[in-house]
Each structure stands twice: as C-alpha cells, then as structure tokens.
C-alpha cells in the first residue's frame, strides 16, 4: 500500500485490530449490573437504620427509645460507625461470646446473602434462557488435546507392535487428576533412524537458465529451523549460502584411461541420438569441469577443448571433448572410493565431465542421449617399461645392451608394459637414445671388409635394421622393419609403427585386435607370456647383404662373430707385410660396436569404442547426478546430463530398516515460515523410493498411508508404506540406507521450515481416566501439555524404554463456560454470520480459530498489502502459547491456518468481496549502545543480560502472557535511553543509536515526509569498514530518533541481537563541539522545506 494512501486513510488503517482478550463486553459480565449490590456491612447498616425508625417498648408497654442498641456492639467505638465488610468479618471471627440475639441476627443476614446471590444471577440466567431456550444456541462441548510422540526401541530388541489405544503416562494435572494419552493408530516401533538428509533445488538465473543446488544434512547457517526442501541461493550473499552447485554431467569409465605417466591427451567423441530439435554447433570448453581419477584424488585436466557438432560423421550430432594431462601430473588410476568419494564401483579409471552451473549449458545438453562413444588416447614419454635382452631382464634406468653382449641376427629385445600393450594401439613410437654410437659406421667397420665397393656410409648404416613385433595371444605379429640408427647416429632414433602396421598385422589372421583390460604388469618375458610385450628382433645386416664385400670372413649383425677371425687374418697379414711390397698395409679391425641404449621411451596412441549399457563391454558410461554417479543401461539412458525432476526434493536416508515396512515420520514444522506466494498444499508432494538400478520408483497414492502436515505447513506425522523393492545398495546415494524422496513441482519456499525429522512417531489423544470426564480436565485443556512431559508408557514395555514428546499438545478446547458462551452468542447476534464490517471479520476469525491471538482487518487491501477496492486483508497473529512457534519475536501463522481462515470467511462475505488472510510485516528495531556498566559488574555477562532485557522491552508479548501485540506502534529513542539507564547494572551510556529496519519500496518525496520519522538530517558517518561484516560490526544507515511502522500491517519487533559495546569507565573522551550542522536545526525555525519556486 502506497504511503499516500496510508496517510489518506490513516485513521482507518491505524486500527490496532482485536485480540482474544478484548472480545468480552463488560455488559455481559455477571457483575456488570446486579439487582442487589449490598454487601454484608450494607445489610447490617440497613438493619441499623431500620432499627432507628422502630420504637422500643418495654414490658410495661412504655416507649423507651428505638432498636439501635441491638447492633451497637458492631460499631467502631472511635467513629461510632459500622465497620466495612472485611474488618467487620474479622472482628466477628475474633470473638466467640457474642450475645445470642446478635448471633441470630447475623446468621439471618448470612442466610439472606444466599438468596441475594441467587437474585443477582438474574441477568446471567436471563441471558442463558434467552440464548439457550429462545434462540437455541448451545454451549460447545470440550474436546481433548492431541500430542505427537516418538518411541525409541531398546538396543538389540525386535520390532515391537503398539496397538491403537496404547496409553502414555503424562503425570498429573494441577488438580491431581492422572493424565494419559492414547495412541490413535497402530505402530510398529523399529530401530529405524534418519541417518541421511539431502536436499535439491532448481533455480532460474537472470538469463533464465536452470541452476541446481544441493545441501547435505541441515546446516547451522539456516538458523534453528531449516528449509525443508532448501531454497534458492542466487539472491543470497556468499556468506549466507548453505547449498552448493550440484555436480551434474557424465563420466566415462574405461581401461584405456589407465595412463600412468607422460604427456597424455584424451579425446572423447560421443555420438548422439537425433534430438527432437536441431543441435546448434558451439564450443563450450569454459563451461565444463573435466577431472580424472588420479593417484592423489580427482585430477583436473590441464587443458580442455569441447564442442557440440551438428554432424559427427553419421548424420547425427556428436560431442567432441579433448583433455590434456601434463607429465608432471600423477598417474591416472582406477576409481577408488577412499580417494574419490562414493560412487559406482566401476573398477576402471574415470573421466568425469561436469557442467559449470553459471555457464547455462545444462539446458543445451539436456535431453541429448549418447548412442556410442569413441575414446582415443595419445601418450608421449612413457619410461616405466619392462626391458629384457637375451641375457635376461634389464634395468630401464641404466644402460641397456640391446641384443646382449654378442648381438646376433635374430637377437631379441623385449619391451613390456601392461598399460601400453593392453590397449588397442593405433600407433607406437620407440625413442632410442644410443650410448656412444660410432659417428660413421662404415669407417668403424672398414677393416672388416675385403672391399667396400658399392657401399656408402648411409647405405651401410641403413643395413642395421630390426623387426618390431607385437605379442598378442602368445604369438608375435610383425609390425614394421626399420633401421636402428638415425642418419646422424649420435641422434636419437624413433622406430614408428603407424595404424596401418597394426591393421596389416591382424589382417592376415581371423583374430580381431582387442584390448586386454585386465592385463597385469609383467615382470619379465617368459615362454608363457600371452600379451604385454613388443620385441625388437635384429634383422640386419645379414651375410647375404654384404656377401660381395666380405669374401674371406662373412659379416653379419654388428660383426661380433667376424671380429676374431678377421682380426687374426689381418694380424697375420700385417706381420707378413713389408714396406715396399707394393701392397696396402693391412689394418687391424676396430672392436665391433655393441648397441647399448642410454635411454628408452615410447609414445603411443590407442582407441576404444563402446556402446553405453553393453554388458559385454569393458567400458561404461555413468550419469553424474546431484549426489553421485550411476551406470547408464537398460534402466537409465546414457544422457550427457541427468534428467532432474521437479523443482525441489527432500531425500531421507533411513538406516536399520528392512523393507517392506511402514515408516512413520514426525516432521517438526516451524509454522508460518513459508515465504512463497504459492504455498504447498496436500497432494503437491510425490513420494518415491530408490530401487534396483538406482531408479526412483514413485509410490502409489496408497503408499502414503497418512499425512497430517498439510503440505509441510504444520507439525504432523507422515506414514509411508515402504515396499520390498526398496534396496540398500546404491551408487547415487550412500549405500546401506533405504532412501525416500519427497518431490515438489512448486517453489521450495512454499514449504514451512523444519526443525527435525524423526521416525517411530504417532499421534496420541487425551484419554480421561476411569470416573473422569473432559470437564474434569478444564484447567489442563486451558494450558495444554508442555513439551517433554510424556516419557513412558502407562504399562511398561522393556522393548520401549523411552518416549519423547518434542512439542506441546494442541487442538484441546475446554467446555464453553458462561463468559465464552455469552461472548460468542452476543457476537453472533451482532454479525449474524455475515462478514460485512471489519468488526465482523475480526470476531468471526477469533471465534472460529482459538489458536489465533489477534486479527487486524485492512479494508480495500489485497494479499500483498496494496490498495485494491473490494478486497480485505486479515492480518493474523498466532497465539504464542498454543502454537509451535520457533521465532517468538516474529510469530507467523501457518499457511494451512491462513487458507482455513480464508475458506471460513469466504462463505460469510459478500460475493463481490475477496478476503485474504496474510502474515504481518515485522519491522526490526536494533539498538546500538556504548554502555559503561556499574562498578564490579562483569561487562561480558551484563552485555548479554542487557540484550535480553531490550528484547523483552521492545517485544514484551514474546515473553509475557496477556501482553498485546500492537500494530502501528511508535517508539522514541529517548524511551530506550531511559529504559537502559534505569537498569541497576548500568552506570551510564556514552552513545545510543536506534535503527529501524523494514522492507519495501523507498519512501515518497521529501514534501510528504516527517523529520525524525521519514527522514533524518545529519552528517553521513564514515566507518572504517576494513574487514568488518555489515550487520555485525557496523550498520549501513542512520539511527533514528523515533521508529514508527511504515505499513498498516506492520509490527515493531526487537532484533535478535543488539549491538552492545562495553566501555570501560573513565575511557570516554570529549570530541569537542560537533553539533553545529543542519542535523541540529529545527524545521520551521532554522530552515524550511518547501517546493522550489517556478522560474
């Protein structure tokens, strides 16, 4: 409602409403008018006056005066006047020897008072006769109160049946009557307990993209009561957020991802099913968070490239993803719950791709289903290899004689790695770094040949070749034959086998080339080895390659076999050679070069393809949901992002439960805390259980046996029949628990907050004991049963050692006595069950709903408090003493109660009027005070005492029964100052500010504002904010001299925590004269506020 309308109709809107204590009219009270109002003293005085008018005649018949001496003993000797009733009765009780005539007279007066009392009930009898007999209005009967209780099963006890009607011991009432409550339904008490609570909320960001937030358990940030389904987070400050972004996306588990070292590049191509609408090509690497299962936990990819392609090669869209991992990163290992958290037990390395919520990519990927996946890896710099020559295993970290000390044609060098050769390779590069190779092989071996005709350094060097073979199924498949040395022998040599080499190797046989995912790392090559090795076989130079050059001693391999003979021949020839013989001097051959590797590394690439859900495949695809990942398969389509149902959900994990079983859950609801305009209603919640394959199965309507929470709006018990199909083993949520889900399609803020959720709950009702009726429990029904009163059964049961009663009883109503009966009947005659005026509406609501303490009717006001002709708003304040209210400083009625009020009034109001039941607006008052406490008082303790005293002073109705809650209140800073200074533990104050916090649009212009209420003229403070927190260390705003509600439905309430600063006595300093500015001037005296004159 605008400020202008508020000011225009202020007299109407400032009505304070009506509370329950204001309903009884004085005229209906029994002593309002009585036919005979005379007291005991008045009757005696009357007799004395009459006695003075009656002559006394003695026995002789002579008149000797009047009868006043008859009562003169009752007169006060000092004043000669009759004593008032209380003193007179005390004087009469003090003596036991009053004269007989006086005793008889006083006895008559006492008896007369009984007739007088009966006469004085004439008005009440007349009202009762008129209301009951003439009008036929009957008093209401008493109704018992109800209470929620929770049973605990003894340790190691079997589930125990409690039949309906089981009595619970509640002690005795104030009159000594025994109190017992009878359970209303049969209950099997088990060891079930709520061990896990998860919440999920979907929220739209400013761009309209869906964001998902989750919370594990209830958090302290939420306060004493928690959001049942969670709440949106985007409008909260980072320090206020209690939910985190849900990790949504997908993951791939495959043995090809077993990558221990090197620079690793992983490429994923997901072929998608044709979507209903065309896919728009786009890149979104910044929208994804790609991680892999590393040896020290989840390992983020160093670089990511991702794109969505409209055509992945088959006329269908595809998702392409490339991730790189540097050599410095740890090894990729199989998924380990101890390292990587709970999830599907895949036993393979995982590549996980999660979307970043702020990117908005969820809506792009939602609905895209993967038909097949192609994985490829490219690795460079693999060092951890098993190496072996004909002499045995070698250490790859030391120089390695490639073919032994005496290399021969056919000599073998084995290279083993389960990681590398267990994959389906598409390329293989061996990087050979030789130790001290000859710079010129022909020069080194020149003396080995009879002639070098036709040989060049390059051609001779290229004769040193080796075959590269792959071990597969126990036999070696030839890949390539290549030279061992680079053109410059001192350079590293790379032997490469391309994809065509692997294709050709297996094209000659019917055996397909498949990966071996479970291959163990070999220790050495043996005759029984089946997989995991390649070998290099020395293939040249052979004797035939150099037959024309080495005629006397054949040359092959590296010449180790020819060297002794050739050396001997050359030595003999040298010994026989003489200078001048005309022949070339024979040269002794150099020692043959033994090929030794200084280092060996390899690069490789491999591919793997699979279809999600294929049980024969070694790879699998997982859907990363809000709380964990689950395998895609027959039950779950392989989606790029999970399909999240509903707008919010509550997940409950129940331990020690064996399905099938009935589960009764007590939801302790903080009534009136639903903040959404559309509150949840009964039937808006869909309950499901987590079954086989991590699939949520909706419960039939018959599966929810009862629900008294009215859509999570008030405390109540929800009883669910959990079927046998509810499993204990899960991937998406913690195993070992039976998981239930409450799903809603509306805003999560439409549910009231929850304090706790407890199983084994039941509703119990007051059961009068033998010989007693509800009328005998009137005092109890007036006050109700306090929380934690019931603790045991009437008839003890060893299996149930304890019963808990978390909340007070409710719904009890005493037999309608005369005051209540007359009040109701009187109001009925005035409003005639027609809701026409504000008076009618307020009384109708207060009568029908005793749990309401106060109602204020706002004419021409809609549900949002805005002006609307034809509407009426009823501002409802619940009774703090009869309702479960967590925040007593800001009591709110439950949404169920508001709906019931609207429905009740709608049938009595005009068809042209719309009546809304709304919550009050609470405007908080916060006091900031610098206080010097009295000497000897502990400042820390008394600062907290002052905080509580201020709360009681500003919101007395929250602590004391009978205190009214005032709409349209006003309080001055000086009042608070006087209150604080009046505390006996306060010496004085050095500073005081009053802050008025309210929600709503800015106030109107200065022309319609009031100094001290709507605006304040003062210097703007300059706080040194540094690392301070707004609202805790300092307040943004100005203190006020007077705080007044800004809306007709507003109530001034105390803040929970005032800012009390203890100042040490004597530490105050004078800041000088500072009050010279406009802030200390008076409007109309020192300056004037008026419109700017027209030019």
The 3-class secondary structure across 6-23, one letter per residue, is HHHCHHHHCCCCEEHHHC
Query: pLDDT grade, residue 10 (50/70/90)?
Result: low
The answer, yes or no, to whether residue 158 has pLDDT greater than 80, is yes
| 811 exposure class (CB count in 10 Å sphere: 0-12, 13-18, 19+) | middle
Report the distance separating Cα 997 and Cα 1031, nearest Å.
11
Query: pLDDT grade, residue 4 (50/70/90)?
Result: low
At a CB cut-off of 8 Å and minimum separation 6, what does 543 contact?
550, 554, 555, 556
Q: What is the pTM assigned to this prediction?
A: 0.76
Single out the residue of 313, 317, 521 nearest to residue 418, CA to CA.
Answer: 521
> What DSSP designation does 690 have?
E
In this structure, of 441-445, 519-523, 1077-1081, the range with the lowest mean pLDDT score is 1077-1081
Mean pLDDT (whole number) for 734-742: 94
Percent of the chain at pLDDT > 90 equals 60
CB 874 within 8 A of CB 901: yes
Top pLDDT among 718 and 883 is at 718
Taking the alpha carbons at both ends of the chain, their separation in whole angstroms is 34
The answer, yes or no, to whether residue 1066 has pLDDT greater than 90, is no
The answer, yes or no, to whether residue 285 has pLDDT greater than 90, is no
pLDDT tens-digit map of 917-976: 999 999 999 999 999 999 999 999 999 999 999 999 999 988 887 788 999 889 999 999
In this structure, of 2-16, 541-555, 589-603, 625-639, the range with the lowest mean pLDDT score is 2-16
Instruction: Give the ranges where 563-644 is alpha helix by DSSP (H).
Output: 563-576
Round the average pLDDT of the chain to a whole number and report it.
Answer: 87
The answer, yes or no, to whether residue 988 has pLDDT greater than 70, is yes
The answer, yes or no, to whether residue 246 has pLDDT greater than 80, is yes
Q: Is 1025 helix (H, G, I), strand (E, B) or coil?
A: coil
Residue with tokens 């009681």: 952
Q: What is the pLDDT of residue 1034?
A: 43
Single out the residue of 544, 428, 405 nearest to residue 478, CA to CA.
Answer: 428
Q: What is the pLDDT of residue 58?
A: 83
pLDDT tens-digit map of 840-884: 999 999 999 988 999 999 999 998 888 899 899 999 999 876 656
List, as one string, the DSSP characters of 80-110: TEEPPHHHHHHHHHH-S---HHHHHHHHHHH
The answer, yes or no, to whether residue 900 has pLDDT greater than 60, is yes
Residue with tokens 């009546």: 915
In this structure, of 69-73, 177-181, 208-212, the range with the lowest mean pLDDT score is 69-73
pLDDT tens-digit map of 371-391: 999 999 999 999 999 999 999
Report the distance separating Cα 414 and Cα 390, nearest Å.
9
Q: How far is CA 469 from CA 411, 503, 508, 608, 817, in A?
A: 13, 13, 14, 21, 105
pLDDT tens-digit map of 758-774: 999 999 999 998 889 99
Q: For CA atoms 903, 908, 909, 910, give the dihedral sign.
A: positive
Which tokens hold the place of 862?
Answer: 């809609």
CB 268 within 8 A of CB 325: no
Q: What is the pLDDT of residue 1075?
A: 46
Report the distance separating Cα 217 and Cα 759, nearest Å.
16
Q: How far is CA 363 from CA 44, 319, 643, 869, in A?
A: 95, 15, 10, 43
Q: What is the pLDDT of residue 950?
A: 95
CB 505 within 8 A of CB 519: no
Q: What is the pLDDT of residue 931?
A: 94
Q: What is the pLDDT of residue 1013?
A: 47
């Amino acid at each position: 409602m605008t400020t202008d309308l508020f000011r225009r109709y202020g007299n109407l809107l400032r009505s304070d409403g009506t509370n329950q204590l204001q309903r009884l009219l004085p005229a209906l009270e029994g002593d309002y008018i009585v036919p005979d109002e005379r007291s005991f003293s008045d009757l005696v005085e009357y007799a004395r006056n009459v006695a003075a008018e009656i002559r006394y005649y003695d026995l002789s018949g002579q008149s000797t005066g009047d009868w006043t001496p008859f009562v003169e003993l009752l007169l006060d000797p000092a004043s000669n006047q009759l004593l008032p009733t209380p003193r007179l009765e005390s004087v009469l009780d003090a003596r036991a020897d009053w004269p007989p005539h006086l005793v008889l007279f006083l006895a008559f007066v006492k008896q007369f008072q009984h007739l007088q009392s009966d006469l004085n009930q004439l008005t009440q009898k007349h009202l009762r006769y008129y209301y009951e007999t003439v009008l036929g209005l009957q008093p209401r009967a008493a109704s018992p109160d109800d209470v929620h209780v929770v049973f605990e099963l003894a340790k190691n006890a079997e589930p125990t049946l409690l039949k309906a009607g089981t009595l619970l011991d509640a002690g005795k009432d104030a009159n000594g009557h025994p109190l017992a409550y009878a359970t209303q339904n049969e209950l099997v008490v088990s060891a079930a307990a709520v061990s896990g609570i998860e919440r999920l909320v979907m929220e739209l960001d400013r761009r309209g993209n869906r964001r998902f937030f989750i919370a594990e358990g209830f958090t302290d940030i939420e306060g004493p009561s928690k959001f049942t389904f969670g709440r949106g987070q985007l409008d909260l400050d980072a320090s206020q957020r209690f939910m985190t972004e849900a990790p949504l996306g997908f993951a791939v588990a495959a043995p090809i991802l077993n990558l221990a070292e090197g620079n690793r590049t992983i490429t994923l191509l997901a072929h998608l099913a044709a979507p209903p609408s065309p896919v728009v090509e786009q890149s979104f690497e910044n929208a994804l968070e790609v991680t892999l299962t590393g040896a020290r936990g989840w390992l983020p990819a160093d670089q990511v490239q991702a794109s969505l392609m409209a055509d992945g090669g088959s006329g269908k869209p595809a998702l392409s993803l490339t991730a790189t991992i540097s050599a410095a990163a740890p090894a990729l290992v199989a998924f380990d719950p101890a390292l990587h958290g709970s999830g599907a037990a895949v036993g393979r390395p995982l590549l996980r791709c999660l979307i970043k919520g702020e990117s908005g990519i969820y809506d792009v990927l939602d609905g895209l289903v993967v038909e097949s996946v192609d994985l490829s890896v490219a690795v460079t710099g693999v060092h951890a290899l098993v190496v072996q020559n004909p002499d045995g295993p070698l250490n790859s970290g030391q120089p390695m004689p490639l073919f032994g000390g005496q290399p021969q044609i056919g000599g073998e060098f084995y290279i083993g790695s389960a990681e590398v050769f267990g994959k389906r390779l598409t390329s293989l590069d061996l990087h050979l770094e030789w130790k001290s190779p000859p710079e010129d092989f022909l020069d080194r071996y020149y003396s080995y040949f009879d002639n070098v005709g036709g040989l060049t350094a390059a051609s001779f060097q290229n004769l040193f070749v080796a075959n590269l073979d792959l071990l597969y199924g126990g036999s070696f498949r030839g890949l390539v034959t290549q030279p061992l040395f680079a053109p410059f022998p001192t350079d590293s040599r790379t032997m490469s086998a391309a994809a065509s080499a692997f294709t050709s190797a297996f094209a000659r046989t019917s055996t397909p080339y498949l990966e071996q995912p479970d291959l163990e790392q070999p220790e050495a090559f043996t005759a029984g080895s089946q997989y995991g090795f390649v070998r290099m076989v020395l293939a040249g130079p052979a004797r035939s390659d150099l037959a024309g050059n080495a005629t006397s001693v054949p040359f092959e391999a590296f010449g180790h076999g020819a060297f002794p003979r050739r050396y001997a021949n050359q030595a003999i020839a040298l010994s026989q050679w003489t200078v001048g013989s005309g022949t070339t001097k024979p040269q002794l051959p150099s020692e043959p070069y033994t090929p030794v590797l200084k280092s060996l590394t390899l690069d490789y690439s491999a591919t793997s393809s699979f279809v999600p859900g294929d049980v024969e495949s070694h790879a699998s695809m997982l859907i990363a949901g809000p709380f964990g990942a689950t395998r895609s398969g027959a039950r779950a389509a392989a989606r790029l992002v999970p399909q999240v149902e509903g707008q919010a959900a509550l997940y409950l994990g129940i331990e020690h439960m064996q399905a099938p079983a009935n589960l009764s859950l007590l939801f302790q609801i903080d009534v009136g805390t639903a903040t959404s305009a559309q509150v949840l209603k009964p039937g808006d919640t869909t309950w499901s259980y987590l079954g086989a394959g991590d699939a949520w199965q909706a419960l039939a309507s018959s599966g929810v046996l009862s629900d008294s929470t009215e859509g999570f709006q008030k405390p109540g018990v929800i009883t669910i029949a959990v079927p046998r199909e509810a499993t204990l083993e899960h991937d998406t949520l913690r195993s070992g628990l039976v998981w239930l889900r409450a799903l809603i399609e509306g805003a999560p803020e439409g549910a009231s907050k929850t304090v706790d959720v407890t199983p084994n709950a039941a509703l119990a009702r007051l059961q009068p004991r033998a010989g007693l009726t509800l009328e005998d429990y009137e005092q109890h029904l007036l006050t109700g049963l306090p929380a934690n009163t019931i603790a045991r059964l009437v008839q003890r049961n060893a299996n149930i050692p304890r019963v808990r009663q978390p909340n007070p009883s409710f719904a009890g109503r005493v037999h309608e006595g005369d005051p209540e009966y007359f009040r109701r009947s009187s109001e009925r005659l005035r409003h005639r069950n027609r809701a026409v005026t504000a008076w009618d509406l307020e009384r109708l609501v207060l009568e029908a709903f005793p749990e309401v303490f106060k109602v204020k009717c706002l004419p021409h006001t809609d549900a949002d408090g805005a002006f609307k002709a034809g509407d009426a708003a009823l501002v409802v304040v619940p009774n703090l003493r009869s309702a479960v209210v967590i925040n007593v400083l800001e009591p709110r009625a439950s949404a169920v109660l508001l709906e019931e009020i609207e429905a009740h009034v709608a049938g009595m109001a005009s068809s042209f009027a719309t009546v809304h039941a709304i919550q009050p607006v609470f405007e908080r008052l916060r006091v900031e005070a610098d206080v010097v406490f009295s000497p000897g008082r502990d400042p820390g303790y008394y600062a907290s005492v002052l905080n509580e005293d201020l709360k009681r002073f500003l919101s007395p109705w929250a602590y004391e029964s009978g205190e009214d809650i005032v709409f349209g209140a006003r309080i001055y800073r000086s009042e608070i100052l006087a209150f604080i200074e009046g505390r006996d533990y306060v010496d004085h104050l050095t500073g005081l500010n009053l802050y008025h916090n309210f929600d709503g649009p800015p106030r109107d212009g200065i022309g319609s504002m009031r100094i001290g209420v709507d605006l304040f003229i003062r210097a703007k403070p300059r706080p040194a904010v540094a690392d301070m927190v707004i609202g805790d260390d300092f307040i943004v705003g100005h203190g006020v001299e007077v705080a007044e509600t800004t809306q007709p439905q507003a109530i001034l309430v105390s803040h929970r925590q005032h800012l009390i600063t203890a100042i040490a006595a004597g530490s105050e300093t004078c800041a000088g004269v500072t009050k010279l500015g406009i802030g200390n001037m008076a409007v109309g005296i020192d300056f004037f506020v008026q419109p700017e004159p027209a030019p």
